């Protein structure tokens, strides 16, 4: 059961899930984190608030949203009492989507929420999607302090349980991996584009690699805000220097959005976001994604 709230993402109208083209929901938890600064449980509402900063709703390229964009905001799933496997079960049971046909935009929350969302949709007889995984960290440790559902283990769970198409999985922005994570990436032959690759080969190369994943089959994007250069996103649990710029990320996301089936934006932790720039960047990404889904789809 969702918590009803007056706070909606910009562009949301009074529509039911069934009437919507894009459904937004918030998963306010930081229980899968814990390796850094917490606060991700406030992320969904902070993205919603930041999405209302612009006086008209428009994409980076200036495309104005029309009424009705058929966006519904289902509110937040109350998660304060859950952690570990019970957190995963609660999210999986309540995930509103039963196919890749409707676009579900999940607002985290820490990155652990990606696993139960994808698991829920795939478990309803849907194909494992391709995956574009923007993150500073590969999230391929086996567990953290005995928790296999940590935000640092989420990609490993998805791969191990065949919930995503490994051949159509691409990690972008990865840096400072742990030895265990590197070993797993090599063992599973996961394709990785590091910030060094972006520097040496350019952003057009990155887009060409992403484009290879687009074939008409379901494609999911998981967007951990810490993929960005740490100085651009102080409001994440584990900021890392040396990441993508928001300009580079927006370039890629704007091209990719029309081809996506669903996505999440995770790890906003507004308590360490004094100027609100991380929340505003997250909101800009959310708006551009929604605009790409609604208006650029061929
Ligand atoms: Mn992550």
**C-alpha of residue 295 to centroid of ligand 1, in Å:** 29
**C-alpha of residue 215 to centroid of ligand 1, in Å:** 25
**C-alpha of residue 298 to centroid of ligand 1, in Å:** 31
CA distance 228 to 137: 11
Collect residues with CB below 5 Å from ion ligand 1.
Answer: 111, 135, 139, 224
CATH 3.40.800.10 fits 17-295, yes or no: yes
**C-alpha of residue 36 to centroid of ligand 1, in Å:** 12
Give the tens place of pLDDT for each residue, 108-147.
Answer: 999 999 999 999 999 999 999 999 999 999 999 999 999 9
**C-alpha of residue 127 to centroid of ligand 1, in Å:** 23
What rounded mean pLDDT belongs to the chain?
95
The residues spanned by each domain of the chain are: 17-295
Lay out the sheet containing 262-266: strands in order across.
Answer: 71-76, 22-27, 103-108, 262-266, 219-224, 130-134, 169-172, 191-193
Give the tens place of pLDDT for each residue, 228-259.
Answer: 999 999 999 999 999 999 999 999 999 999 99
**C-alpha of residue 62 to centroid of ligand 1, in Å:** 30
- What 184-187 contacts at long range (C-beta under 8 Å, 24+ apart), as own/partner pairs, is 184/138, 184/140, 184/156, 185/138, 185/140
Residue scoring higher pLDDT (274 or 131)? 131
pLDDT, residue 182, reads 98
DSSP secondary structure string for all residues of 224-248: EGGGB-GGG--SBSS--SS-B-HHH
**C-alpha of residue 239 to centroid of ligand 1, in Å:** 11
CA distance 142 to 127: 24
Give the tens place of pLDDT for each residue, 133-192.
Answer: 999 999 999 999 999 999 999 999 999 999 999 999 999 999 999 999 999 999 999 999
């Amino acid at each position: 059961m969702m918590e009803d709230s007056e706070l909606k993402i910009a562009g949301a109208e009074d529509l039911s899930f069934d009437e919507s083209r894009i459904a937004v929901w918030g998963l306010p938890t930081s229980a899968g984190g814990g390796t850094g600064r917490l606060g991700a449980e406030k992320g969904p509402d902070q993205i919603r608030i930041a999405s209302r900063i612009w006086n008209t709703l428009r994409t980076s390229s200036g495309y104005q949203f029309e009424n009705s964009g058929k966006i519904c905001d289902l509110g937040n799933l109350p998660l304060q009492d859950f952690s570990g496997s019970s957190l995963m079960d609660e999210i999986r049971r309540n995930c509103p989507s039963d196919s890749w046909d409707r676009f579900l935009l999940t607002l985290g929350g820490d990155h652990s929420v990606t696993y139960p969302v994808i698991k829920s949709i795939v478990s309803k007889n849907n194909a494992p999607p391709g995956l574009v995984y923007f993150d500073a960290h590969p999230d391929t440790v086996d567990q953290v302090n005995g928790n296999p559902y940590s935000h640092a283990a989420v990609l490993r769970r998805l791969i191990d349980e065949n919930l995503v198409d490994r051949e159509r999985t691409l990690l972008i922005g990865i840096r400072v991996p742990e030895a265990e994570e590197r070993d797993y990436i090599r063992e599973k032959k996961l394709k990785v584009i590091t910030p060094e690759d972006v520097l040496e080969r350019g952003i057009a190369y990155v887009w060409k690699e992403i484009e290879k994943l687009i074939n008409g089959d379901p494609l999911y994007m998981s967007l951990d805000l810490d993929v960005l250069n740490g100085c651009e996103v102080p409001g994440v649990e584990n900021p890392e220097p040396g990441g993508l710029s928001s300009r580079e990320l927006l370039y890629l996301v704007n091209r990719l959005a029309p081809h996506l089936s669903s996505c999440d934006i995770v790890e906003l932790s507004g308590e360490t976001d004094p100027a609100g720039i991380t929340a505003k960047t997250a909101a800009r990404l959310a708006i551009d994604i929604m605009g790409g889904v609604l208006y650029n789809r061929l």
